[in-house]
Amino acid sequence: MKNFFLLFFFIVASASALSQPTLTGYENFTEGTIIKYKMVNTEISSLGEAGGNVTWNFSSLGSSNNVITREIVDPESTSYSTFFPTATVAEQN
């Protein structure tokens, strides 16, 4: 019986570990917000170690002059609003 409860616990724990999180407005963008993405050269010779208490140095990333600009708009103003009926904002070129 003890093994059954242990197995049940691990099944439930595994299911919750694989579940997808719900994003709750982390960025809080509003309509009219302009976002600029700057392209960088991502060819890094070594990323370094992974894990806790590690500092990564990205100073070798090469910057380019390529900037992508997006605007936050009302989702109803896009042709994709029916695919995302609960969306409150959309990103548009």
Per-residue model confidence (pLDDT) at position 31: 92
Q: What is the pTM of this model?
A: 0.52
- Closest C-alpha to 86, from 33, 25, 13: 25
Give the pLDDT mean for 40-53: 74
Q: Please give the distance of CA 32 from its chain centroid, rounded to a whole number.
A: 21
pLDDT band at 57 (very low <50, low <70, confident <90, very high): confident
**Cα distance between residue 49 and residue 9, in whole Å:** 33
Query: Each residue of 8-25: pLDDT tens digit?
Result: 666 666 655 556 666 665
